[in-house]
Amino acid sequence: MRYRTLGPSGLLVSELCLGTMTFGGSEGIWGQIGQLRQEEADALVQTAIEAGINFIDTANVYAGGESERILGQSIRNLGLARDDVVIATKVLGPMGAGPNAAGASRAHVLAQAKASLTRLQMDHIDLYQIHGFDPVTPITETLEALDTLVRQGHVRYIGLSNWAAWQIVKAVGIAEARKLAPILSLQAYYTLVGRDLERDIVPMLQSEGIGLMVWSPLAGGFLSGKYSGGTAAGGRRASFNFPPVDLARGDAAVAVLREIAAERGCSVAQVALAWLLHQPVVTSVIVGAKRVDQLADNIGATGVSLSPGDLAALDAVTKLAPEYPGWMLERQAQYRAPFAAQKG
């Protein structure tokens, strides 16, 4: 297991992060994603820790708070030292019926941070993330609320999730101008069959030095290889088809993944995860599971090394179609190409 700094900080996190969205579900969407109870969750957390994973992600909205509660109890049940684990959680989604029971307002952010700490049985959250963009609340209000939590010691670092590039850059500018707690990370969807981030968000992250945490790295199980032509051979995509996948491109990608997996003597999922770990912009890949053997297989991806030929083959079958202004920027950049290497 390798460790990387999270954005422009000295905080070291493992290249794999344990996702806990499968903890605690009972009905509806959360029941479809996972219904793990305490003992099963303890086994997954223990497997992750023993493999060197020190980074665990959850959210207040997962199973209506049950994921946070179960995770917090797992930390206690396993006797883990608080400083040995980096705990990330998120806020935005509805946690009640009222109009102020959701969003990124100061009231909701502060109230939910306190509620998350209670469920986690902790006195601080290492990484507190805004789970999505709130079109109602001014960005400044959200950032000032997060800064308050950092100054109070309830939160150590802050991040965002599912924001557009322009929204993130605007937030970075506001934080810098007002001397608020800096934004360290973005949690976003990125896979071989979902490379949209590469158009604007990846260049922005690299420019600003912001870390990237990848959610659903197997595209909801699609890149595990157990789906063909959109037909599920078991798994949650049979009833919860998310994230959306272009099936024609997806099947082509899986075919190449299978070839590489056969050559490497590993699973298709491990190759898909290894591809992400080979991307310079990626800080940590969030892996979730319902069983210990699934998690162990995902952890095995850290030992899969892809050759330049493997990466080229995967890129050829999954690369994005040219889109404006990208193709124009690339073309015009050639005017200055001879001097690019001298920059700095």
Q: What is the pLDDT of residue 148?
A: 98
Closest CA to 86 of 112, 66, 57: 57
Q: What is the pLDDT of residue 52?
A: 98
Distance CA 301, CA 289 (A): 14
CB atoms within 10 A of CB 263: 11
Q: What is the pLDDT of residue 34?
A: 85
Distance CA 124, CA 209 (A): 25
Three-state secondary structure call for residue 217? coil
Q: What is the pLDDT of residue 32?
A: 87
CA dihedral 2, 299, 288, 241 (to 10 degrees): 110
Distance CA 224, CA 29 (A): 21
Q: Over the chain, what is the mean pLDDT?
A: 94
Low-confidence ranges of the chain (pLDDT < 70): 228-241, 343-344
DSSP string for residues in 173-203? HHHHHHTPPPEEEEEEE-BTTB-GGGTTHHH
Closest CA to 6 of 282, 339, 216: 282
Q: What is the pLDDT of residue 7?
A: 96
Q: What is the pLDDT of residue 237?
A: 58
Catalytic residue ranges: 62
Place of tokens 């952010």: 109
What 8-state DSSP symbol labels residue 121? T
Q: What is the pLDDT of residue 236?
A: 59
Long-range contacts of 22-29 (CB under 8 A, 24+ apart): 22/288, 22/289, 22/290, 23/58, 23/62, 23/63, 23/66, 23/67, 23/70, 23/71, 24/62, 24/63, 24/66, 24/67, 24/69, 24/70, 25/62, 25/63, 25/66, 26/63, 26/66, 29/240
